[in-house]
Amino acid sequence: MDRRALIVGIDHYDNFSPLSGCVADADSMLTVLARNEDGSVNFDCRKFTSSVTDRITRPFLRARWKELFGSFKGDAVFYFAGHGGPSQLGGFLVTQDGEEDDVGLPMNEIVQLANDSPTRSVLIVLDCCFSGAAGNSPSLQTAGLYQATLREGVTILAASRPTQTAGEIDGHGLFTDLVLGALRGGAADVRGRVSAAAIYGYVESAIGSWAQRPLYKSHAARLDPIRLCLPKVPDTILRELPHFFSTKDAQYRLDMSYEETNGAAKAANVEVFKKFKTLQLAGLLMPRYGSDLYWTAERSGSVELTALGQFYWRLVDEDLI
C-alpha cells in the first residue's frame, strides 16, 4: 500500500493536566482514515494512544516519525491530539513524559522530517494548543511574523493560531470533530473526493470569529483526495454530459415521454430523466425556467447545465474524468 497514516492521541500526562477526548479522537480518526466510505482500503494506519502502561514518550514518538517517512515514497498522514506548548522559537507537541522545562518534541521537527523525506505528499493534522506554530520560521516568529517553509507536497492543518489554545467539547476536540465530519462526506465534492483544502474550508466555516481559528498551510501542486466518499453523481453519468449537451452551454429539450407517470412515457427517455434528476440534486443541472423537472417535461421545456455542471462537462470533454 502506498498510503500510510500515523495516529497519536494522548490523554494521560505525568506532569500536566489530563485530557479527556484525545484517545477517543485518535480512535475515530483511525476508523475514518483506514477505509473509504464504500469499504475499500484507504490508509494503512498505525495508532498509538496513551495509558498508564502504554507510554508515548519523546524517544518513542520520534522513532515513530522516522518509521512513517524513512524511504517511503507514497502518501503519508500524521495526526496528533494532545497538549501543545508554546515557545518564542515555535510550538511543541507535549509527550506523556513532558516536563515543565522540556515538554516534548518541536512541531518543526516533524515538519522538517516531512520536508526532507521522499514522500510524495504529507498531511500533518495537529489538534493541540498553539498548533499554528508548526512550520513557522523561528527567526521570523520571534518578530511576530508567521511564515511557514514547506516543500512541495506538504500540507498542515492546525487547530489554532500560534498563540491560541484549542478546546474540547463533549469529550472530543472541537477541531477534530469537524475534521471527522468533513472526512465522512461533509466536505466531499460531486465525485465524493475529500481534499485537505476542502477539509479546511468545512472546518473554518463552522467556527465563529470569537473561537479558536484553524490554519491551513500548504505547498501542494495538486489536491489529491484524503478520503473517498460515495459520489453525489457517479462518474458514469458525468461522462455522459457531452452526449446530452453538445456544448457546455447547450440546452436539452424534454417532453412528456421523459416523465414515467405520463402515458406517453418511453423507457429510454425515462432513464435519461432519472439521470437528469441526479444531476439536478447535485447542483449540476437546472430547468431553463422554473425549478421542477416534472413540469419542465410536462410542458416540453428545456434544461441546461449550471456553472458547476459546465465545469464537470469541461473535465469530461478534456478526458480528465
Amino acid at 30: L
Domain end position, chosen among 174, 205, 228: 228
Please check whether residues 221 and 283 belong to one and the same domain. no
Using one digit for the tens of pLDDT, what is the confidence trace for 247-282?
Answer: 999 999 999 999 999 989 999 999 999 999 999 999
CA 249 to each of CA 107, 286, 287, 288: distance values in angstroms, whole numbers, following the listed order: 49, 12, 13, 11
| Beta-bridge mates of residue 168 | 173
Please check whether residues 119 and 249 belong to one and the same domain. no
Please check whether residues 220 and 135 belong to one and the same domain. yes
Tally of domains within the chain: 2
DSSP 3: E
Question: Residue 34: which pLDDT band, with cuts at 50, 70 and 90?
Answer: very high
Interhelix angle 107-116/58-69, rounded to 10 degrees, is 20
* Whole-angstrom distance, CA of residue 176 vs CA of residue 303: 41
Using one digit for the tens of pLDDT, what is the confidence trace for 148-202?
Answer: 889 999 999 999 988 888 888 777 889 999 999 999 999 999 999 999 999 999 9
Task: Please check the confidence at residue 211 and state whether its pLDDT lies above 80.
Answer: no
pTM reported for the whole predicted model: 0.91
* Whole-angstrom distance, CA of residue 46 vs CA of residue 121: 18
Please check whether residues 223 and 246 belong to one and the same domain. no
Strand, helix or coil for residue 249:
coil
**Span 44-72, mean pLDDT?**
93
Question: Residue 242: which pLDDT band, with cuts at 50, 70 and 90?
Answer: very high
Q: Which three cell numbers stand for residue 115?
A: 520536508
Q: Please, what sign has the CA dihedral across residues 49, 55, 59, 60? A: negative
Please check whether residues 158 and 70 belong to one and the same domain. yes
Q: Residue 280 sits in a domain of what CATH number?
A: 1.10.10
Please check whether residues 69 and 172 belong to one and the same domain. yes
| Beta-bridge mates of residue 35 | 41
Cβ proximity of 199 and 189 under 8 Å = no
β-strands 193-194, 227-228 pairing: antiparallel
Please check whether residues 222 and 244 belong to one and the same domain. no
| Beta-bridge mates of residue 4 | 44, 76
Please check whether residues 187 and 82 belong to one and the same domain. yes
Please check whether residues 161 and 78 belong to one and the same domain. yes
Q: Which three cell numbers stand for residue 38?
A: 464504500
Please check whether residues 222 and 243 belong to one and the same domain. no
Please check whether residues 48 and 196 belong to one and the same domain. yes
Show the domain range for 277.
Answer: 235-317
Please check whether residues 303 and 247 belong to one and the same domain. yes
Q: Residue 180 sits in a domain of what CATH number?
A: 3.40.50.1460
pLDDT (0 to 100) of residue 94: 96
Percent of the chain with pLDDT over 70: 97
Domain end position, chosen among 180, 196, 228: 228
Task: End-to-end CA distance of the chain: give it in Å, rounded.
Answer: 24
Domain end position, chosen among 228, 260, 292: 228
Query: Of 50-59, 98-107, 113-122, 287-296, which one has max mean pLDDT?
Result: 113-122
pLDDT (0 to 100) of residue 144: 62
